[in-house]
């Protein structure tokens, strides 16, 4: 790893002392020099040192004043300041600390002493920098996640209204269906009217499924659930998407299952999310196959959801169940899949609360299979 040299600014009006200190520090550090307070403040802005060796007695503004000005300017961050003085009186030292200096060294000093102090304060500076960097990253993460949560909450609100909206579609749909039926009686052989009736019937089925699932989802008590029905309903709901309708072929192999005792939303949401992920994964493919199967192995219900999509790399495989891990944008103007990265994390939690598990196998560019295993209850 390339390590940048720490930067030190040496400020002293004694030219010979400055060059002596420079020689001492130069091999290990990047050194700049200034011979008075004004120049020091000027150089500071461009050079951005990690540490300043600052002489107290200088013509013009003295070391204390330079120190105070540096400390009053937030742009200089947490630069370390060591005051250099010919006087070792306690009063002098205190004045230095008061002005904001970190330490004090008295002329004449030994090279070792100066180097030791410089090292200590640079180490401190680097720890502080790391902390502030970490703090910044954390703040950034909190900001991002808050944004994501707000968005997820917005989506949830839309979901809460959806049932009402969908319900209101029923009436106009009745009108369309009624008139289509009348037309069909008048022109029994008209294919356009036939397809109109078929489309309307499909819409009614989708609306019915949304209403019945949202009703069941709104109930938080345990009930007897037919997991095959959940699978069928979740697939049915996808038919509303044109992408799904035209580019995805579905295969379903469902074996009879014992009714499952649990909260409906846990299963509709986790299975729904696995299916949605599978469809999303095939978004860039011209054609895709979504296979869903259910079976019983020993005392366990096994549900498999497979796609022929982009797959998941080994590296990402370790992260997909982490909350907020997503490769999808939060929002998109086109019809690209979007996500919050909460789907798998919450699905896993829901399935595990029944003593079950979700496993994933994948091959990049070939496809992915998610397996849900639930102990029969």
Ligand X SMILES: Nc1ncnc2c1ncn2[C@@H]1O[C@H](COP(=O)(O)OP(=O)(O)OP(=O)(O)O)[C@@H](O)[C@H]1O
Q: Closer to ligand X at the Cβ: 173 or 342?
A: 342
Residue 223: closest CA among 212, 234, 232: 212
User: Shortest approach of Mg ion to residue 348 CB, angstroms?
Assistant: 12
248 binds ligand X (CB under 6 A): no
148 binds Mg ion (CB under 5 A): no
Q: Closer to Mg ion at the Cβ: 184 or 317?
A: 317
327 binds ligand X (CB under 6 A): yes
Work out whether the CA dihedral 349, 352, 353, 354 comes out positive or negative.
Answer: positive
Residue 253: closest CA among 301, 303, 297: 303
Q: Binds 320, which of ligand X, Mg ion, none (CB < 5 to 8 A, cut-off by type)? A: ligand X
User: Shortest approach of ligand X to residue 44 CB, angstroms?
Assistant: 46
Residue 169: closest CA among 207, 200, 197: 207
283 binds ligand X (CB under 6 A): no
Mark 171-190 with x for binding to ligand X (rule: CB under 6 A) and - for no binding: --------------------
Contact by Cβ (8 Å): 320, 140: no
Contact by Cβ (8 Å): 234, 335: no
Contact by Cβ (8 Å): 233, 264: no
171 by Cβ neighbours in 10 Å (0-12 / 13-18 / 19+) ranks as exposed
**Site size toward ligand X, by CB under 6 A:** 22
Query: Which of 37, 272, 343, 367 lies at the binding interface for Mg ion (CB under 5 A)?
Result: 343
* Range in contact with ligand X (rule: CB under 6 A) among 93-101, 193-201, 255-263, 270-278: 270-278
Distances (CA, A) of 75 to 10, 129, 147: 19, 14, 29
Q: Closer to ligand X at the Cβ: 114 or 330?
A: 330
Residue ranges in 136-155 that form contacts with ligand X under rule CB under 6 A: none
Q: Closer to Mg ion at the Cβ: 213 or 277?
A: 277
User: Shortest approach of ligand X to residue 251 CB, angstroms?
Assistant: 15
Q: Binds 33, which of Mg ion, ligand X, none (CB < 5 to 8 A, cut-off by type)? A: none
Residue ranges in 334-353 that form contacts with ligand X under rule CB under 6 A: 339-345
277 binds Mg ion (CB under 5 A): yes
Query: Which of 18, 55, 307, 354 lies at the binding interface for ligand X (CB under 6 A)?
Result: 307
User: Shortest approach of Mg ion to residue 124 CB, angstroms?
Assistant: 45
328 binds ligand X (CB under 6 A): yes
Distances (CA, A) of 35 to 29, 60, 221, 263: 19, 11, 79, 77
320 binds ligand X (CB under 6 A): yes
Q: Count the alpha carbons within 13 Å of 337 in the hemisphere toward its beta carbon.
A: 21
Q: Closer to Mg ion at the Cβ: 96 or 341?
A: 341
**Residues near ligand X, by CB under 6 A:** 273, 277-278, 281, 307, 309-312, 320, 325-328, 339-345, 368
């Amino acid at each position: 790893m390339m390590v940048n040299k720490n930067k030190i600014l040496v400020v002293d009006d004694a030219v010979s002392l400055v060059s002596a200190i420079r020689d001492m520090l130069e091999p290990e550090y990047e050194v700049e020099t200034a011979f008075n307070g004004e120049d020091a403040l000027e150089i500071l802005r461009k050079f951005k040192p990690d540490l300043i060796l600052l002489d107290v007695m200088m013509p013009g503004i003295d070391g204390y004043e330079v120190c105070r000005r540096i400390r009053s300017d937030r742009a200089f961050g947490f630069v370390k300041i060591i005051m250099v003085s010919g006087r070792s009186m306690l009063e002098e030292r205190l004045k230095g600390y008061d002005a904001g200096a970190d330490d004090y060294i008295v002329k004449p000093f030994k090279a070792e002493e100066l180097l030791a102090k410089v090292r200590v304060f640079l180490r401190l500076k680097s720890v502080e920098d790391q902390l502030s960097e970490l703090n910044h990253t954390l703040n950034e993460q909190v900001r991002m996640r808050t944004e994501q949560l707000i968005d997820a909450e917005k989506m949830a609100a839309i979901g809460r209204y959806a049932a009402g909206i969908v319900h209101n579609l029923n009436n106009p749909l009745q009108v369309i269906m009624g008139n289509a039926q009348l037309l069909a009686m008048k022109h029994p052989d008209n294919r356009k009217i036939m397809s109109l009736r078929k489309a309307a019937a499909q819409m009614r089925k989708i609306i019915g499924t949304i209403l019945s699932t949202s009703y069941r989802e709104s109930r938080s008590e345990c009930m007897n659930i037919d997991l095959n029905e959940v699978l069928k309903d979740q697939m049915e709901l996808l038919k509303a998407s044109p992408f799904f309708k035209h580019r995805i072929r579905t295969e379903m192999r469902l074996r009879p299952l014992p009714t499952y005792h649990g909260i409906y939303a846990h299963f509709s949401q986790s299975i729904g999310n696995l299916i949605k992920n599978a469809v999303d994964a095939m978004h860039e493919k011209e054609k895709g196959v979504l296979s869903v199967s259910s079976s019983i192995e020993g005392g366990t219900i096994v549900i498999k959801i497979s796609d022929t999509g982009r797959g998941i790399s080994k590296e990402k495989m370790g992260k997909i169940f982490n909350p907020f891990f997503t490769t999808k944008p939060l929002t998109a103007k086109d019809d690209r899949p979007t996500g919050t990265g909460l789907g798998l994390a919450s699905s896993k939690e829901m399935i595990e609360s029944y003593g079950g598990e979700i496993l994933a196998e994948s091959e990049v560019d070939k496809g992915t299979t998610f397996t849900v295993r639930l102990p029969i209850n």
